[in-house]
Amino acid sequence: MQRKLDRQRRANNPENYHANGTVKLGAKQWKRSKRSQDSLDQLREIQRRLAAHRKSLHGRLVNEIVELGNVFKLEKLSYRAFQKEFGRSVGLRAPGGFVSELRRKAESAGGKVIEFPIRNTRLSQRCHCGQVHKKRLSERWQGCACGVFAQRDLYSAFLARFVEQETNQLHAGQAAEAWTGAEPLLRTAWQQAVTNQPASGRSNPSSFGATRSWSGSSVEGEIACTKARDVVAYPLGTARARER
């Protein structure tokens, strides 16, 4: 629809363009035909519906997250800078808007969202044993000589629990103590992610590292769908706990 609108604009205003198709500099008068106005109205309606659908999905996901707790730790990121790297994908999914909605609902539930700078923590590069392994963005798995092997994003989320709010530093000792119990939870979360296909029928994004198994080999034909327990235990007395 945007390409159609551009063609109509060029056809209605040939005097505003050079022979090579570039726009002329200076003040210009833009004429719009009835058909181009109809195209613009259609585009606005499409964008309105996309925004409403995105807001609905954000609200649903935020509600599911708030059921699990009311204090959330996030890396402080520049979502505007993401647009330069990932372009249309960021505009379509609006991660900044999702974080704003999460903050609003967490505060209304008596909780909060804590953001810490990534320069001090470097969670995607760090192991709880203290070693730092610089990785390319394409490397989606965390491996260390100490024996840690985990999906990179899940492991970073695990480490984020132990970032101290006052100093914005990772408390590696606490992370090391909790790793024994957390490793099977991260494994279960990863298995659920790669075995549960999206409702659209499309495969999971390769950026999650779904082309490899937890042991490091290919996952094709390997993942046996064992019925895993919930990754997060619900507090006793809640509706979810009673259902279980």
E-assigned strand segments in the chain: 71-76, 112-117, 141-143, 149-151
The 3-state DSSP class for residue 8 equals: helix
Q: What is the pLDDT of residue 200?
A: 58
* pLDDT, tens digit (0-9, with 9 covering 90-100), for 63-100: 999 999 989 999 988 888 888 888 888 888 899 999 99
- For tokens 């198709």, name the residue: 21
- For tokens 């058909």, name the residue: 35
How would residue 222 be classed by pLDDT, with cut points 50, 70 and 90? very low
How would residue 166 be classed by pLDDT, with cut points 50, 70 and 90? confident
- CA 31/CA 44 separation, integer angstroms: 19
Q: In this structure, what DSSP letter does residue 221 have? A: T
Q: What is the pLDDT of residue 193?
A: 80
Q: Is the pLDDT of residue 2 over 90?
A: yes
Q: Compute how many other C-beta atoms are within 10 angstroms of the C-beta atom of residue 175.
A: 21
Q: Is the pLDDT of residue 184 over 70?
A: yes
Q: Cα torsion at 186, 189, 193, 195 (round to 10°)? A: 110
Q: What is the pLDDT of residue 110?
A: 92
* pLDDT, tens digit (0-9, with 9 covering 90-100), for 21-56: 999 999 999 999 999 999 999 999 999 999 999 999
Q: In this structure, what DSSP letter does residue 22 have? A: P
Question: pTM for this structure?
Answer: 0.70
Core vs surface per residue 203-235: b (16+ CB within 10 A) or e = eeeeeebbebbbeeeebeeeeeeeeeeeeeeee
Which residue type occupies 185? Answer: L
Q: Is the pLDDT of residue 17 over 80?
A: yes
- Mean pLDDT for the stretch of residues 136-163: 90
Q: What is the pLDDT of residue 136?
A: 87
E-assigned strand segments in 53-128: 71-76, 112-117
- CA 244/CA 240 separation, integer angstroms: 6
The rounded mean pLDDT for the chain is 83
